[in-house]
Structure 1
Amino acid sequence: MPPLDKRIKKFIKDSIRVAPRISEKGELGELRTGLVSQYPQTRKDAIKKTIQQMTLGKDVSSLFPDVVKNIATNDVEQKKLVYLYVMNYAETHPELCILVVNTFVTDAQDPNPLIRCMAIRTMCMIRVDKILEYIEIPLRRTLQDDNPYVRKTAVICIAKLFQLNKELCVEIGVLDDLIAALDDSNPMVVANATAALTEISVMDPDAVLLLDLISSHVNQYLLALNECTEWARITILTALTEYQAKDSIEAQQIIDRVTAHLQHVNPAVVLSTIKVIIRNLELTQPQSSNSVIMKKMTSALVSLMSTPPELQYIALKNIRIILEKYPELLSKELRIFYVKFNDPLYVKLEKIEIMVRLVDPANTKQCQLLLSELKEYTMEFEPEFVSRSIQALSQLGIKYSHETFVSKVLDILIDFQERQESYKDECCSAMCDLLRHCSTNDEMITSVCAILNAWSDPDSMLQRDDAKCNYIWLLGQYPIKFPSLTEKISIFVDNFVHEEPLTQTSILMTIVRLHSQLPGSILQNILELATNQTNEIDVRDLAMMYWRCLSMPNVEGLVKQLCSMNLPQIASTLDKLSPDVLEKLLRELSTISSITLKPQVDNKNKYAQHQRVIRGKHLDELKDIAKNELAYNMNDEVLLDFDDNDNDDNYSSNNSNPIQNSSALDDLDDLFNFGNNTNSNADGSAIEQGIYDLDIHKKDNHDQETSSNTQELLDLF
């Protein structure tokens, strides 16, 4: 160990910071001065400040030659920052990134595996076709690397390369190397290879036979599960979801191997495991082991309710789909879903949805407990939560389907609407739903009609379309319960044109139903309004049908039959998923489809993105374009200069020093071995003029196509 005084001197020498001279150009000039400093730490600090400005959305692309000069360093952190800078401008300035290809190729052979990974990853992020000439050898070398971290990065790069140029991937045969990576000894490489193959299959289903590959590597997946990270487990479990077991024995083996992951701390792993179990559960033979698996699934779903609110919301959405398939799964866990005082509103609404679905109609005690709980919820202060609780009361009463229990629910609703004036819409819809379920109970009918008949101005008290529709249906269904029937109907007829479609349809059907009890002018008026003053096709067609039936001779029996028909009894007001949609959603648990309740649309191009790729240009031409843009940026106005008074002076002083700019380009040539080939201003102007002429030509063609398409449309008429 060196003496203390030498160590102190070395520490002082390394810690010296020479402040760069404040440039007259502003902040961008300071950054450029720091990037070319002779002190390593000063250059590193300047790179960090450049990345900071880039993160804020400011254009620092003019610093490209000064930043990439710092790429040749043994400091991994500094190299990572430079790579980050290059990747950011790969999308917006792909022609600049061609200048650092030689450095990437060299770094791909670096002894440090982290640098090798960064080099191959960055090369695949640059969307320039000409870079593909250099990426084949480094990619193949990293695919056979001794370090598994490098290999798992390389297999992901194949998917990126396929997105850029799938013909090249097939030609050089890297897809075969990717398929061979499924047999790798490292589980992370297997998981990354699976993810890459999945992405490639989405982009082009004919490129790889994904299902066949998964079928032939099921055992490898099951063995690798216990040794993977969380992300890798999710990837492998998602792949196992696509596999169809050959028989009940294999399905049971898969279930037994993945059941242990139901106890994982990550909710995404738990949901992915449940997805695999549900996929194979139907193929197993009915036996006692299924009940054990169900109990484990129940415990796993219950454990998800102890997560943060955001994760609870996702869990509740997935539980809603699972309960559609297995309604008895959580029938004994009602209390777990009780609403807490500190739950966000979106969690409260989903909990109510779940509680109504999982309650067992055969369990009277459980239904009574939920009824008391929902009654308490109606006393809360959040309007949306109270409205959903009122709806849940009617859903619970219809699900239990006993008149005594329905009468209790109705009494709660009647008492609530008398105390709360702002929830008339919800109460009206809920009470009418209960009457449609128990249409033979005269006591309930009398009570509801007496309450609604006492409303002085129902047209203004009811705001929602469904509430008005139910109220008008009640007028037509029980007209003798409303002494002032004509007056109440006339209010809605006068405002018919301004009503929404459901209300218009209900008004039309009710008046035709009661045409013998109402003045003839109301019938004539409503038919004219429905056929002439509405834009709804369904309402207009229904009015025309009624008008023809009423106009035809000897059709009293038909009209009487139409007017005497009753709506069918409501068996349930809970939303149900169709069997096909349910099966798709069960295979898409823990994805965005489980949140929206809409299966993914099969679209080959859903992952296609706009590619800023320069095609059809030679490498020398790309180099010339890059150097021209660098020269232009050096002579351009400083975007980061916040001193408005010195902008003109800075611009003129910058233009007056072309020697400095040319020396920067010469240094860049020496660094990356591009030789002494330089491009003149005339060539740059010619390229810019050619691009301008091409844009003008495209614009003219577009205008011609637009005018021709417009003329064709006009010719149709």
Structure 2
Amino acid sequence: MGESKSRGELAEIRTTLAALASSGGHSKSETAVTAKRDVFKKIINYITIGIDMSSLFMQVMTCAVSSGEDVVLKKMLYLYITTYAQHNPDLTLLTINLLTKDCKDQDPTIRGLALRSLCQLRVANLVEYIMSPIQQGLRDAHPYVRRTAVMGVLKVYHLDESAVRNAGMLGTLQEMLTGDKDAQVVANCMSVLQQAGAGHTLVSRSLVIPLLNRIKDFSEWAQCQVLEAVSSYRPASEQEVFDIMNVLDDRLLHSNSAVVMATVKLFLHLTLAMPPTHQQVLERVKDPLQTLVSRDQYETAYAVLAHFLLIAQRAPILFSQIYTTFYCRQNEPSYIKSLKLDILAAIADETNAFEIATELTEYVNDIDEQLARNAVKAVGRIAIEVQDVGGIVERLLGFLETGRDFVTAEAVIQLKDLLRRYPAIAEASLSSVSSITPEDIVEPEARAAFVWILGEYGQNIQDAPYLLEPLAEGFAEEAVPVRLALLAAAMKLFFRRPPECQKLLGSVLAAASSDTNQDVHDRALLYYRLLQHSVREAERVAGTPLPAISHFSEEQSSELRDRIFDEFNTLAVILRAPSATFIKAASASIDEDEPDPPLVASGAAVQAPAVDEGSALLSMDEQEEAFIDTSNGNSPAQRPQASAAHASASSSQSALDDLLGLSSALEAPAPAPARPPALSLDPQPSLTPSLFQGKWATLQPAQRFTVPLPPSALANIEADNHQGFLQSASSMGIATMASGGKAPVFRFYMYAKPQVKAEFLLVETIVDKSAGSATVTIKSEDASSVPAFADMYRSCLNSMTRTAALGPALSGGWRLDK
């Protein structure tokens, strides 16, 4: 019913257009123009709600040609044309004459509108018809037409770059930068040149000085563009720096925050090589930045505060006296408060640390849990950085008694870091720690920190072994970081308080040796074998007190902050990371815009790489079994000459088990971690390229991982047109769909099919020689097969590594390359 109604309305519009074009076509009366406007408005309304009106193309064109110079009708006509241009290139060709003719109209508004519509056709084979109107528009007397023509250059540039360069349009835009009288035309020229990769031409003195002299004529957005371009300019002398800063000084007081931040960036970058002047600039920009923060625009305030933090980290002394500016207000959102706490911690020194810590203590009692956590964290950082101010550590210890579990947890974590930096404060701090029980701390990170403190300073905490016993009894229920910390703590306490910790260490080692987590399992075996080998060596390795540290790995280095400072007034400052860490090139994939990679010829004989059966290589499982068996006095090869040593080891092990109360807990090999079931692949899978491409485009990645490869393995993969790698994969049932690329990046698209399932496994491998790694992406409609297939594919890559590494040895000795 609705479709028939639409068809009836479409027929009615077609009839109305035909009537207006024939009977009243040449009438320029107000009634005729109004009627045409009404029908054109109806057409545009239907286009807006998604109804296809392209079938009226000829009637619309016929009616529009007779519309005279009515600007409203022209606008609606141009909108109709540009809407259906790309969908109907043949019909669009009919509009070229109309648009070209209108580009020469006496009315500059119609000339500009026609030129803009002509450039918006975006049909590649019509570029030759657009070049001449654009060149005429660049020389037009009216600024609106010139502005439109400049932006038209960029649109054509994206369609046909060579046509724009051959016509010399970029050179024309460079001349217009200094020669055109209209500021918006100059701004458009600058924007187009930057996007066309010719932005380096903007940094010469002959262009910079004229742009700065007329900075006030530009719009706010254009001013930001000018300031951004000038920030990469290097003045020839200090006097020129001062001249530029004098011209732009009033931009620091601009009402637009983007203009202010662009000016601040320019001032800071210009004076980097002038330390005294740079210091004065930092003093100068404080007030404008504070003004921006004080506004009630929280998004702008957050961006400005992020830059405040970056500057404060470089020169904290400049902001130490205005610390009250960064106190939190009740009505501020949490993200603003969090950033202010970071700034307060960064600018704290001997003169203001106590006052700042007092303010932060008030925030700890706030109902906002995240704010309370961040406040505790900030007090901890201040205590680490400003150690000479009394009362800071006491405030941190006071947080342990608040009765709020998340505050206690965060305080324990900060106290652990404080003890790592200043072990001397342990004597004054441990009495507060001893009043806590494991039940008071719920979060795994905090429990691990609590266990670390007990292990590192257990000789000074009377109840340390007894506080650890409940954790040892529930060892399997603890998180992995807590289990690892408990292993280390029990080991250290055993050497400092042997009688009390003998049973504790035995129970922890017994529980950890049967743990399914590989790290916990291996750590327990390491400690056990150290004790079996030599108690003195075990104490030297695991029982030595840790030295004080001067820098935490979580802290940003000065080099990283300098890189972020180079990208001032960008997203890098907000994210606190250089842009290279979050702006990456589009990942390689098979799509319609990329040419298909060269297909590897099928049907070639596939042969598995030769492996020396007599080599001493063992799999990881075999190595672990051999290691465990050796610890029990049973060599996997049962060497007769080692029987005496094994007997001695067995005796030593028995004594150690009796000492720790292990009985025979470690005599049997520990169970290997759970592995995915073995996967059996179809040795000859079959998949067409079109089906592969369709599946790859629709499926989401099921697993992605990166495998490091040594140079020898990379060379082996690249050699002989990748045949070694492709044959190794084929021997496992992994077929190659496409492979190719140019050094240093090679791409492989492969697929496999489990024998018992119908779904295919698709895999993309990007080998980057410069990074020394292979990035693997696996997709499948059945995710259950992906883990086992991922292990199989890793083994394929590892086989290349082993083959490459053993090549010289298997060939009989060293070889001198010519």
TM-score (norm 1): 0.72
**Does the C-alpha gap of structure 1 residues 161 and 24 become closer, same or farther in structure 2, counting only changes over 3 Å?**
closer
CA distance in 2, matches of 1:91, 1:568: 68
* Change beyond 3 A, Cα 1:138–1:544: farther
Alpha-carbon separation, structure 2, partners of 1:146 and 1:604:
44
Match of 1:175 among 170, 173, 176: 170
Contact 2:337 2:371 in 1 (8 A): yes
Alpha-carbon deviation of 1:590? 2.8
Match of 1:382 among 360, 368, 371: 368
Q: How does 1:144-163 map to 2 (within 5 A)?
A: 144-163=139-158
Q: For residues 375-399 of structure 1, give each alpha carbon's deviation from its aligned partner in whole angstroms, at most 9, with x where no partner exists.
A: 2222222221222122112222223
Change over 3 Å in CA distance of 1:476–1:265 after alignment to 2: same
Match of 2:506 in 1: 521
Aligned counterpart for 1:303 among listed residues 266, 269, 291: 291
The alpha-carbon deviation at position 223 of structure 1 amounts to 1.6
CA apart distance, 1:146: 1.6
1:237 is displaced (CA, Å) by 0.4
CA distance in 2: counterparts of 1:456 and 1:336, whole angstroms:
40
Map of 1:565 onto structure 2: 545
> Counterpart of 2:37 in 1: which secondary structure?
helix
2:390 equivalent among 374, 382, 404 = 404
Aligned residue type for 1:265: S
100, 115, 140: which one pairs with 2:110? 115
CA gap 1:476/1:227 in 2 versus in 1, 3 angstroms: same
Moved more, 86-95 or 210-219: 86-95
Q: Corresponding residue for 1:134?
A: 129
Q: Does structure 1 retain, via aligned residues, the 8 Å contact 2:513–2:522?
A: no
Aligned letter for 1:706? M
Deviation at 1:145, TM superposition (A): 1.6
Distance 1:25 1:385 in 2: 61
Contact map agreement 2:313 2:347 (CA 8 A) in 1: no
Matched residue, 2:306: 317
Q: Which amino acid in structure 2 is aligned with residue 351 of structure 1?
A: K
Are residues 1:342 and 2:338 paired?
Answer: no
What amino acid does structure 1 have at the position aligned with 2:110?
A: I
Report if the CA contact (8 A) 1:403-1:438 is conserved: no
**CA deviation vs aligned residue, 1:189-212 (integer Å, no higher than 9, x gap):** 2222221111111xxxxxx47257
Q: Following superposition of structure 1 onto structure 2, how do residues 195-344 of structure 1 map, counting pairs within 5 Å? A: 195-201=191-197, 208=198, 210=200, 214=204, 216-284=206-274, 286=276, 292-307=280-295, 308-344=297-333
Aligned equivalents of 1:223, 1:584: Cα separation in 2: 31
Say if 2:214 is the partner of 1:191: no
**Higher alpha-carbon deviation: 405-414 or 47-56:** 47-56
Matches within 5 A, 1:44-123: 44-48=37-41, 50-52=43-45, 54-55=47-48, 61-62=54-55, 64-65=57-58, 72=65, 73=67, 74-90=69-85, 97-123=92-118
Give how far 1:111 is off: 2.5
Unaligned runs of 5+ in 1: 1-21, 202-207, 614-695
| Alignment partner of 1:706 out of 713, 723, 737 | 737
Aligned to 2:378: 392
What is aligned with 1:431? 415
| Count of residue pairs the alignment pairs up | 591
Distance 2:479 2:59 in 1: 65
For 1:195 and 1:304, how far apart are their aligned partners in 2?
A: 27
Shift of 1:60: 5.1
Distance 1:330 1:234 in 2: 27
Does the C-alpha gap of structure 1 residues 573 and 699 become closer, same or farther in structure 2, counting only changes over 3 Å?
Answer: closer
Whole-angstrom CA distance in 1 between matches of 2:591 and 2:11: 32
Deviations 1:597-646 (A, max 9, x none): 233339897799x9999xxxxxxxxxxxxxxxxxxxxxxxxxxxxxxxxx
Which AA in structure 2 matches 1:25? R
**How far, CA to CA, are the matches of 2:521 and 2:91 in structure 1?**
64
Secondary structure of 2:332's counterpart equals coil
Q: Distance in 2 between matches of 1:274 and 1:367?
A: 28
Correspondence 1:478 to 2:457: yes
Q: Is the 8 A contact 1:162 1:169 kept in 2?
A: yes
1:536-592, Cα deviation, whole Å (9 max, x unpaired): 6xx677666555544544x7146325412325246679842542x433433433332
CA distance in 1, matches of 2:475, 2:84: 60
1:13-53 CA distances to partner (integer Å, 9 max, x unpaired)?
A: xxxxxxxxx95636666766776674543543454455455
Relative distance call for 1:377 and 1:504 in structure 2 (3 A) is same
Q: For the residues of structure 1 that align with 2:10 and 2:378, how far apart are their CA atoms?
A: 62
* Change in CA separation of 1:589 and 1:490 when aligned onto 2, cut-off 3 Å: same
Structure 1 residue 301 displacement after superposition: 0.6
Matched-pair contact (CA < 8 Å) for 2:310–2:561: yes
CA 1:215 to 1:294, structure 2 compared with 1: closer, same or farther past 3 Å?
same
Query: Alignment partner for residue 451 of structure 1, among 420, 430, 435?
Result: 435
Distance, in Å, in 1 between the alignment partners of 2:568 and 2:71 is: 40
Q: Give the secondary-structure state (helix, strand or coil) at the position aligned to 1:328.
A: helix
Contact 1:70 1:79 in 2 (8 A): no
Q: In structure 2, how many angstroms separate the alpha carbons of the residues matched to 1:113 and 1:558?
A: 89
Offset at residue 253 of structure 1 (A): 2.7
In 1, the alpha carbon distance for the partners of 2:592 and 2:133 equals 23
Paired with 1:342 and 1:225, the residues of 2 have a C-alpha distance of 38
- Superposition deviation, residue 213 in structure 1: 5.2
Residue of structure 2 in register with 1:143 after alignment: 138
Deviation at 1:515, TM superposition (A): 4.2
Which residue in the other structure is 2:516 paired with? 533
Conserved 8 A contact 1:508-1:543: yes
User: Structure 2 unaligned runs (5+)?
Assistant: 21-31, 496-500, 594-686, 695-734, 739-748, 753-762, 764-792, 800-818
- Aligned CA distance change for structure 1 residues 371 and 406 (closer, same or farther; 3 Å): closer
1:300 Cα deviation from its structure 2 partner:
1.0
Q: Identity rate of aligned residues, in percent? A: 24
Distance (Å, rounded) in 2 between the aligned partners of 1:131 and 1:432: 70
Higher helix content, 1 or 2: 1
Q: CA deviation at 1:510?
A: 2.4
* Cα distance in structure 1, aligned partners of 2:469 and 2:57: 76
2:343 aligns with one of 324, 346, 354: 354
1:161: Cα distance to partner? 1.9
Contact 2:307 2:569 (C-alpha < 8 Å) held by counterparts = yes
Measured in 1, the distance between the counterparts of 2:395 and 2:15 equals 78
Give the 3 Å change call, closer, same or farther, for CA 285–368 of structure 1 in structure 2: closer
Cα separation, 2, equivalents of 1:34 and 1:350: 63
- Contact 1:34 1:42 (8 Å CA) reproduced: no
**Residues 280 and 198 (structure 1 numbering): CA distance in 2 closer, same or farther, change over 3 Å?**
same
Q: Which moved more, 1:119-128 or 1:212-221?
A: 212-221
RMSD of Structure 2 on Structure 1 (CA): 4.0
Query: 2: CA distance between counterparts of 1:590 and 1:405?
Result: 38
Per-residue CA deviation, residues 434-453 of structure 1 (Å, 9 max, x unaligned), is 4444422355323332232x
1:442-475: CA deviations, max 9, x gaps? 55323332232xx2525xx422x43222112112
Cα deviation digits, residues 637-660 of structure 1 (max 9, x gap): xxxxxxxxxxxxxxxxxxxxxxxx
Higher mean alpha-carbon deviation, 342-351 vs 69-78, is at 69-78
Which stretch has the larger CA shift, 564-573 or 27-36? 27-36
Instruction: For residue 145 of structure 1, give the secondary structure of its aligned residue in structure 2.
Output: coil
Residues 202, 229 of structure 2: 8 Å contact kept: no
* Cα pair distance change 1:576/1:605, threshold 3 Å: closer
How many Å separate the matches in 2 of 1:220 and 1:409?
A: 58
